[in-house]
Amino acid sequence: MKKLLEIAKKVCDQAEVYSYENSESEVDFTHAELHDIKSKIQSGVALRIIKDRKLGFAYTCNLINREELLENALDSLKGKVKANYEFPFTKNLPNLNTYDNAIEKLAENLFVEECSRICDILKSKTDGEIEFGAGKDVTKIQIVNTSGTDVTNLTSSYGIGGSLIFPGGAAGVNRVFSKKKFQKTPDSILDEMISLYNSAKKVVEPKSGKMKVLFMPFSIYTLTWRIKSGTSAMSIYEKISPVADKIGKKIFDDKFTLYDDPLNDKYPGARAFDDEGVACKTFTLIENGVLKSFYYDLNYAKKLNAKSTGHGYRTIDWGGDPITLKPVPSLQYLTIKPGNKTFRGLVKMIDKGIILDGVMGAHSGNIPNGDYSVGVSPAFYVENGEIIGRVKDAMVAGNVYETLKNIVAIEDTVHDCWGGRFPAILCDNVSVATKR
């Protein structure tokens, strides 16, 4: 990497070398039986150069010919992509506990045993179709640049997750669990899956209308996706954010606080720097309903006369290979501050409404404007504080800037889930469309 940087520096104003190494092993169970065991090793190097305020970019999965990689980056300067920013000089980062070497010794048979144990428990207490998977991941990222930055992050993670699927469809109760090293899945997660599944075996058809909706952690990304869009420097620059002029103003219920928490090494994947080498920090976007901040990468920070907030990541909405991507503003460690109600307490607060456990079509609707319209997958109908059945073929729709003004209460626990660590949130006056 440093040799590549040295030769790039001779012909460019600035240069950055990004190295990524990843190894994964996982097992998959379908119909509660072992279906597949697979492993993957991935690595690569990406080079960004700036010359005459223009950006060049090239990448390779195998750094054999440094001169050729540099020539490719120089050739891409012909695209005349503007780059008015400077690569940062980053030092004195906090030491995070992100890696446990015990994970290297974990064999796939341990994952098979754990998935088998879980499947046996779920089979003995439900009649659902069971799909589960478990695996380990080790990732190393290193960034060096001509400003003097030389930073490395090594992370380990173990994860397990799966679905308890209702007959006659793909909807099911989904849960995940992750740590920096192997741990047995807590009974509380399995008990919740079993309880929700068995209480909702009956299909019911409530009338359409506005009602209370309990957004479970696995459906919360429907809302946070819209918030991420509205508070991104990219949306501000492109003038598509509905909250561009709302800094310091209340946009949600005062129960709602949302922050990005990359330094929390209690969880796997913590980071002290982003994919541009900028130092990360605990970063509050919404505090007690008040919009506090937008988030920036180097590029959009310069365009908007601001500073990077350490949110330049090589990502797209549905994953992607980081080596092939250039950084964009992104929130990778979102957390919603928990409230003071248990899950059961939240259900008891519903006179008539649904528990939205999962969604289909979260990408639909005008995301920058905050609109959403999602299919339930699944949802549970509640009357007088009790689950009486499962709802099929229904839609939940609204606008995040209205929905989160009507928060009734928030769960007292955050959960690992897609898009961050979230509690369940009970909202009122949400539109639910059913067959009736």
| pLDDT tens per residue, range 394-406 | 999 999 999 999 9
pLDDT score at 435:
82
Q: What is the rounded distance in angstroms from the CA atom of residue 352 to the CA atom of residue 206?
A: 9
Distant-in-sequence, close-in-space partners of 30: CB < 8 Å, separation ≥ 6: 131
Using 50 as the pLDDT threshold, list the residues of the chain that sit under it: none
Q: What is the rounded distance in angstroms from the CA atom of residue 390 to the CA atom of residue 197?
A: 9
Tell the CATH superfamily of the 2-195 domain. PmbA/TldD superfamily (3.30.2290.10)
pLDDT score at 2:
87
State the average pLDDT for the chain: 95
Distant-in-sequence, close-in-space partners of 340: CB < 8 Å, separation ≥ 6: 409, 410, 412
Q: Sheet harboring 334-336: ordered strands across?
A: 290-291, 283-287, 258-260, 334-336, 420-422, 415-417
Measured in whole angstroms, the distance separating CA 162 from the mean position of its chain's CA atoms is 17
Q: What is the rounded distance in angstroms from the CA atom of residue 310 to the CA atom of residue 277?
A: 8
Q: What is the rounded distance in angstroms from the CA atom of residue 374 to the CA atom of residue 382?
A: 19
Pairing of strands 33-51, 14-30: antiparallel
pLDDT score at 289:
98
Q: What is the rounded distance in angstroms from the CA atom of residue 425 to the CA atom of residue 227?
A: 15
pLDDT score at 254:
97
Q: Tell me: cis bond preceding 378? Omega within 30 of 0 counts.
A: yes
Structure tokens at 307: 């500073």
Which H or E run includes 329?
Answer: strand 328-329
User: Could you tell me if 98 and 154 are in contact, meaning their C-beta atoms sit under 8 angstroms apart?
Assistant: yes
Distant-in-sequence, close-in-space partners of 151: CB < 8 Å, separation ≥ 6: 90, 93, 142, 143, 144, 272, 273, 277
In the chain, which residues fall in CATH 3.30.2290.10? Answer: 2-195
Q: What is the dihedral of CA 433, 417, 277, 140, to 10 degrees?
A: -140
Tell me which amino acid residue 363 is: H
- Phi (first) and psi of residue 400, to 5 degrees: -60, -30
Q: Among 155, 173, 103, which Cα is nearest to 134's? A: 103
The SS3 call for residue 355 is: strand
pLDDT score at 211:
97
215 strand-pairing partners: 356, 425
Q: What is the rounded distance in angstroms from the CA atom of residue 362 to the CA atom of residue 370?
A: 11
pLDDT score at 64:
86
Map tokens 């020539």 to a residue.
71
pLDDT score at 419:
83
pLDDT score at 364:
84
148 strand-pairing partners: none
pLDDT score at 104:
85
